[in-house]
Structure 1
Amino acid sequence: MLLVFGIASVVSILVTGALVDRRLRTLTVVSGVLALMTPVLLVVLGARTHAFPAARPGTE
């Protein structure tokens, strides 16, 4: 399983590098739109957005 993850990581780095070289502006805009849409979708879909960085069992 770790080998598959490693191969997928290398492939994704190569694809990203090729796309950034050709379409930097498009990738930047798409990344910004996705970053802005994430909190909106969390609110619309009713997801719990509370973070408990040091949560212990029973402290929620």
Structure 2
Amino acid sequence: MMERPIVCSHVYPPIPIRDFDWCAHFDDVGADCSPHGWGRTEAEAKQDLLDNYGDDE
């Protein structure tokens, strides 16, 4: 099975909670169509995306 490319963005919203600083989405379908993962770090956002949507193909 081939790994899907993942793109991460540092969003850093102006809120006191840091749980949503990073966003990850699958690059093969684009940001508008892809589900998103969120986290305090880039690694957490990627893991959230894979945990919740990694097997959806």
TM category (shorter chain) comes to under 0.3
Choose between structure 1 and 2 for higher RCO, CA contacts under 8 A separated by at least 6 residues. 2
The structure having more radius of gyration, on CA atoms, is: 1
Report which of the two has the higher share of helix: 1
TM-score computed with the length of structure 2 as normaliser: 0.25
